[in-house]
Structure 1
């Protein structure tokens, strides 16, 4: 009896493992940002629509973010701008992505931050491409 209670208590106190589900979403809106510790030039891409991407359902995080950041980094390196820190910001709705874009742009173009040289990359200059992650979607119940 004591062993059964002890096993029950151990099972209840062990952390529960919750597997987050990955879901494929028809589209997200994304933009890129790049800065360097070696110069004051900052690059920002336009807000772009990307189709067939994977989202982690619980946190709503874009899966494969590092691949999208690498796309921007490789483009800038090819344009003779190596050693840059690149990141991507995304949203499920265009309006939300544009709000984030404007907020970030304002941070680096305000009068107090004029020490940065902001360069914009439109979709003719650079376009993100969908990353194939080959993730199996969780079965719907």
Structure 2
């Protein structure tokens, strides 16, 4: 009886792993903004909400593919412009503008109305723009479709 239960669990886990890998990514327009803070300073930086062509995981999570690379873009911008030496950066996103605006407003109010005095500085779109990052293991739909062969007679 125990062997049967172990086999059932193994088959279920194998199916779950295969289904999660097979879904891939889908291109989507997302609204994202960045937030950066340092433990050594009371200044926080926020970018405006930007509409970006990005890739989301094609499953129920809809995670942003390579999301850490978007945060590294902001971190590199801050470091190269001498604004912050060791910032902790976060990129937040939503699939529609109203959800992104809600996240943005909540985060902005948290730091502007905090009991601790934070200086909130905004980074304009002219200064910084996110660039689209293609996932490492991305296969487009055109590559996966089989081309029909010519009728050879």
TM-score, normalization by structure 1: 0.85
Please tell me whether the aligned partners of residues 48 and 127 of structure 1 are also in contact (alpha carbons under 8 angstroms).
Answer: yes
SS in 1 for 2:13: coil
Gaps of 5+ in 2: 146-153
2:43 to 41, 44, 51: 41
RMSD in angstroms over aligned alpha carbons? Answer: 2.0
Higher relative contact order (CA 8 A, sep 6+): 1
* 2:69 is the counterpart of 1:67: yes
Q: Give the superposition deviation at 1:13.
A: 2.9
1:18-33 superposed matches below 5 A? 18=16, 19-20=19-20, 21-33=23-35
The runs of 4+ residues in structure 1 deviating greater than 6 Å are: none
Q: Give the superposition deviation at 1:25.
A: 2.6
Return the structure number with greater strand share: 1
Please tell me whether the aligned partners of residues 23 and 54 of structure 1 are also in contact (alpha carbons under 8 angstroms).
Answer: yes
* 2:12 is the counterpart of 1:11: no
Distance 1:133 1:61 in 2: 12
TM-score, normalization by structure 2: 0.79
Gaps of 5+ in 1: none
1:132 to 131, 134, 137: 134
Q: Give the superposition deviation at 1:6.
A: 5.2
Report Cα offsets for 1:64-113 as digits up to 9, x if no partner.
11110000000000111210000100000011101100010010011524
SS in 2 for 1:27: strand
Aligned residue-pair number? 134
2:149 maps to: none
2:148 maps to: none
SS in 2 for 1:107: helix
